[in-house]
Chains A and B, each alone.
Chain A
Amino acid sequence: MSAVLEGHTTDHHHGPAKGLWRWVLTTNHKDIGTLYLWFSFAMFLFGGTLAFVIRAELFQPGLQIVEPNFFNQMTTMHGLVMVFGAVMPAFVGLANWLVPMMIGAPDMAMPRMNNWSFWILPFAFAMLSSTLLMDGGGPNFGWTFYAPLSTTYAPPSTVLFILSIHMMGISSIMGAINIIATVLNLRAPGMTLMKMPLFVWTWLITAFLLIAVMPVLAGVVTMMLMDISFGTSFFSAAGGGDPVLFQHVFWFFGHPEVYIMILPAFGVVSAIIPAFARKPLFGYTSMVYATASIAFLSFIVWAHHMFTVGMPITGELYFMYATMLIAVPTGVKVFNWITTMFKGSLTFETPMLFATAFVILFTIGGFSGLMLAIAPADFQYHDTYFVVAHFHYVLVPGAIFGIMAGIYYWLPKWTGHMYDETMGKVHFWLSFIGMNLAFFPMHFTGLAGMPRRIPDYALQFANFNMLSSVGAFLFGFTQLLFLFIVIKCIIGGKKASAKPWEGAEGLEWMLPSPAPYHTFTTPPEVK
């Protein structure tokens, strides 16, 4: 804190340390944000490679490349790595970089814990990935790891999977506590809650979701551990337990989890669309309330993932109605974004392209979500490729396009250089085409009756699967271009001004580009 008191004269003593130790010991929110983002990108490529194995096997009917058991390990690890390794850390990375700058704080409230919450992750994922090389293989029961397939019938490496989930949970909880503490305590004078940028709001709400549900996940994996190693029967009817209990507890975590992966993206898009429409965000207050409503509803709809487990009809009806309700606040958000664009002065630089695609494709994912909410129709959709199409539409052009839009938007602020706009646009269009080619046909294969998580399929699904595979490879390889664009931007490029986007709003744009190592050591005054 002495830096704050001594003012600008001592700033040059507080630059980053040199070498590797800078990254290991850093407590600087920008360094930790960078670590999170690079880690997330590495996991994105790893998870993508696993998806390549899946799509290569599914390119044609028949077993060509991998054994069914290995295929199951691929689908499981792909899901776990993308959810816990790629999407969640990317948002924490964005939060680390941006939340302090957006609210005029010098750093996160608990910098050393911040360091720790990042450095747990590489170890958790090293442990998780190492199970693939072990006797009996890695987790092969799907990322939802339903008992008793994940307990009585699981490979021995499952205990390591459980331990790594615990570590990821600890990391997420610490990250969430840090964000809440920062937002509630370190806002600059005048930065009232209802003046905060929506990215800060969505992250604040996400952080509460994380604190509420990550312990539930920890609970369910602990119950699994007890069943596997200590002779309990939480999930075994033979000992008085119930396999469906697992699903209730899992989805009580799992449904808020999907909003954890999308709410911060809502925040990113709510920053970008007004900037490139050169017009203030429409309905700021309703956006905040809609986000809070979505978060609240996410706690009371979990069993719509379980319409076929044989719930009583009253349960089915309740969960159907509650789930359909989510469409209302989600609709409000979409309408607000579109009204923000309406009568704006639009330009379509790369961040805006990703944000626009986000609105369109996330809405399509929302439509299929609404269809899935209709319980009797879900009897036909459940556990087919229709569901796979649905959640990839909300996660790829939803969460991942949101992250990419944010990275392009704030990259000039982080690096001090403009990225290559032409290459950015090429990256967008190839991603857009590849992603739609990969996931749109899955709606069709699902409706036509193809179950998910199968390594081989009946002949009638062959054509669309081949298209999906081609799209998946296009999307996957395009991300190497993204890597290239980002590295190129870090190394050099056109100098970025403090506010490179004409319509951008917010405290972060008052800072020079690149943002100095320490910012807002004296809090700014917000009018």
Chain B
Amino acid sequence: MLLALRQPQLLGLGLLWCTGYAQADWATNMREGVTAVSQSIYNLHMTIFWICVVIGIIVFGVMFWSMLMHRKSRGAKPATFHENTLVEIIWTTIPFLILVFMAIPASKTLIEAYNADEAEIDIKITGYQWKWKYDYLNEKIGYFSNLSTPRDEINNLKPKNANYLLEVDEPVVVPVNKKVRFLITSADVIHSWWVPELAVKKDAIPGFINEAWTKIEKPGTYRGQCTELCGKDHGFMPIVIEAKSEEDYQLWLASKQEQAEKEKELTSKEWTMDELMTRGEKVYNTTCAVCHQPNGEGMPPVFPALKGSTLITTGDVKNHIDIIVNGKQGTAMQAFGKQLSEVDIAAVTTYERNAWGNNKGDMVTPQDIVKFNEAAQ
């Protein structure tokens, strides 16, 4: 019974399914979450839920009583009453008072959820079609977070893992017990950043910055999804947030900064064709394949094929780089110059020119991209 009280919907379903099983795949209720705000929201949710249940029992009770007892087949004779001002006033006033009673805790929770002052860490979150970018404003690191579920699992070619569609290559990492402020925006359409365990849901709106905050009490990995329809792969841009202890967070930060340094050095390194192709394939599969497909055949007419594309096979390499760096106006092709490093752009350009039978045989190095960018300025 205790469990049933905590998971009220089970009252109705309890006859059908045992409660233990219900915990896993038959989850029926909002999660309490791991922050003070998420817990007060959960309590609000349960309070209003129980108020509705009580009102429901009374109202439907009277209704079912009439339906059973006042049937013509039972010989019920109709009464003739048809109005009573006092009754009308009573059932206008009582609901109103219940609402006032509800509005007080709701307002308190809302005010609490809206107070993003005195945050210790600022993370800028940018929604892209169809991935998230996290920039740690004071720590000077930033990276993209892509869905890491293999296409084969989505296409039912391989069994699905436990975190199917809720896993990413690079999670956003925060320390526990510190107030983290999120500055949320978008680079294209409206997205919405939601992690149920934090009770943070805020729209990412292009050209505007929204604010939200969290203070996680329990270390762990929490998963969420984009909740505003944002185009084709709206269902495929999850959010994973890892809450670590302060020391682990500092270690992660240091390794991330070191990694960023190394990436920078890579730009001046001498690259071989094989190295570029290997890296290019990886970049292609995380960044380009959702639209242009892993086999380069695209999904015409919206997403053109790259395999045998005249742009690549007969066009100038400059045009090819230009489209990747600056995108193509009026189409779904984004400007990747701001999203990818010089190394990645060089690698993916090389890959596209030499994969799937586009055997151009030429090679684009990170230095070429640097030169391209300088010429453009």
- Which A residues contact B (CB, under 8 angstroms)? 61-64, 67-69, 72, 135-136, 140-142, 146, 148-149, 152-153, 155, 236-238, 242-244, 277-286, 308-310, 313, 316-317, 320-321, 324-325, 327-328, 331-332, 334-335, 338-339, 341-348, 356, 359-360, 363-364, 367, 370-371, 374-377, 379-380, 382-384, 443-444, 447-449, 451-460, 462-464, 503
Instruction: Give the 5 A-B residue pairs with the shortest CB-CB distance, closest first.
Output: A237-B207, A454-B235, A310-B210, A448-B27, A343-B79
B205 on the interface (CB 8 Å rule)?
yes
B56 on the interface (CB 8 Å rule)?
yes
B24's nearest neighbour on chain A, judged by CB, is: A460
A142 lies within 8 A of B229 (CB): yes
- Distance of A238 Cα from B206 Cα, bound (Å): 9
Known: A308-B203, A377-B44. A281 touches B227 (CB 8 A): no
Taking the closest CB of chain A, its distance from the CB of B295, in whole angstroms, is 15
Of B188-196, B310-318, B356-364, the segment with at least 4 beta carbons within 8 Å of chain A is: B188-196
- Distance of A155 Cα from B155 Cα, bound (Å): 25
B26 on the interface (CB 8 Å rule)?
yes
Known: A281-B82, A325-B99, A379-B199. A332 touches B92 (CB 8 A): yes
B78 on the interface (CB 8 Å rule)?
yes
A-B contact pairs, 27 of them (CB 8 A): A61-B165, A62-B155, A62-B160, A68-B233, A69-B302, A148-B190, A237-B205, A237-B206, A242-B208, A243-B207, A324-B103, A331-B91, A335-B59, A342-B66, A343-B81, A344-B78, A374-B102, A376-B199, A379-B199, A380-B41, A380-B196, A443-B9, A443-B28, A444-B9, A453-B229, A456-B236, A459-B160
Known: A62-B155, A280-B80. A309 touches B232 (CB 8 A): no
B4 on the interface (CB 8 Å rule)?
no
B190 lies within 8 A of A338 (CB): no
Known: A243-B190, A344-B78, A454-B234. A324 touches B165 (CB 8 A): no
B73 on the interface (CB 8 Å rule)?
yes
Known: A64-B156, A317-B107, A344-B66. A460 touches B25 (CB 8 A): yes
B62 on the interface (CB 8 Å rule)?
yes
- Distance of A339 Cα from B48 Cα, bound (Å): 25
B261 on the interface (CB 8 Å rule)?
no
- Distance of A303 Cα from B114 Cα, bound (Å): 17
Which residues of chain B are near A62, meaning CB under 8 Å? 153-156, 160
Within 8 A of A (CB), among B155-179: 155-156, 160, 162-166
Taking the closest CB of chain B, its distance from the CB of A63, in whole angstroms, is 6
Which residues of chain A are near B62, meaning CB under 8 Å? 338, 342
A462 lies within 8 A of B25 (CB): yes
A-contact bits for B278-298, CB 8 A (1 contact / 0 none) = 000000000000000000000
B226 on the interface (CB 8 Å rule)?
yes
A277's nearest neighbour on chain B, judged by CB, is: B78
A328 lies within 8 A of B99 (CB): yes
Further pairs besides A279-B78, A310-B208: 4, Cβ < 8 Å: A242-B208, A325-B99, A374-B106, A444-B28
A276's nearest neighbour on chain B, judged by CB, is: B72
B71 on the interface (CB 8 Å rule)?
yes
Which residues of chain A are near B155, meaning CB under 8 Å? 62-63
B48 lies within 8 A of A379 (CB): no
A346 lies within 8 A of B67 (CB): yes
B45 lies within 8 A of A346 (CB): no
B27 lies within 8 A of A339 (CB): no
A383 lies within 8 A of B202 (CB): no
A283 lies within 8 A of B82 (CB): yes
Q: Which of B24, B52, B163 is most buried by chain A, counting CB atoms within 10 A of its CB?
A: B52
Taking the closest CB of chain A, its distance from the CB of B217, in whole angstroms, is 18
A-contact bits for B89-119, CB 8 A (1 contact / 0 none) = 0011001100100110011011101100000
Taking the closest CB of chain B, its distance from the CB of A451, in whole angstroms, is 4
B224 on the interface (CB 8 Å rule)?
yes
- Distance of A367 Cα from B84 Cα, bound (Å): 26
Known: A72-B231, A238-B207, A317-B107. A460 touches B59 (CB 8 A): no
Known: A63-B154, A345-B72. A458 touches B166 (CB 8 A): yes
- Which residue from B29, B78, B226 sits with its C-beta under 8 Å from A451? B226
B141 on the interface (CB 8 Å rule)?
no
B110 lies within 8 A of A347 (CB): no
Taking the closest CB of chain A, its distance from the CB of B279, in whole angstroms, is 28
- Distance of A328 Cα from B88 Cα, bound (Å): 11
Which residues of chain B are near A503, meaning CB under 8 Å? 78
- Distance of A224 Cα from B62 Cα, bound (Å): 50
Taking the closest CB of chain B, its distance from the CB of A135, in whole angstroms, is 5
Taking the closest CB of chain B, its distance from the CB of A522, in whole angstroms, is 31
Taking the closest CB of chain A, its distance from the CB of B78, in whole angstroms, is 4
B232 lies within 8 A of A72 (CB): yes
A149 lies within 8 A of B190 (CB): yes
Which residues of chain A are near B78, meaning CB under 8 Å? 277-279, 343-345, 503
Known: A321-B103, A377-B45, A463-B26. A236 touches B207 (CB 8 A): yes
- Which residue from A346, A347, A459 sits with its C-beta under 8 Å from B162? A459
B59 lies within 8 A of A338 (CB): yes
Which residues of chain A are near B230, meaning CB under 8 Å? 149
B235 lies within 8 A of A371 (CB): no
Which residues of chain A are near B80, meaning CB under 8 Å? 279-280
Which residues of chain B are near A281, meaning CB under 8 Å? 82
B44 lies within 8 A of A376 (CB): yes
A453 lies within 8 A of B192 (CB): no
- Which residue from B70, B81, B82, B228 sits with its C-beta under 8 Å from A341? B70
Taking the closest CB of chain A, its distance from the CB of B22, in whole angstroms, is 10
Known: A282-B83, A444-B27, A453-B234. A346 touches B72 (CB 8 A): yes
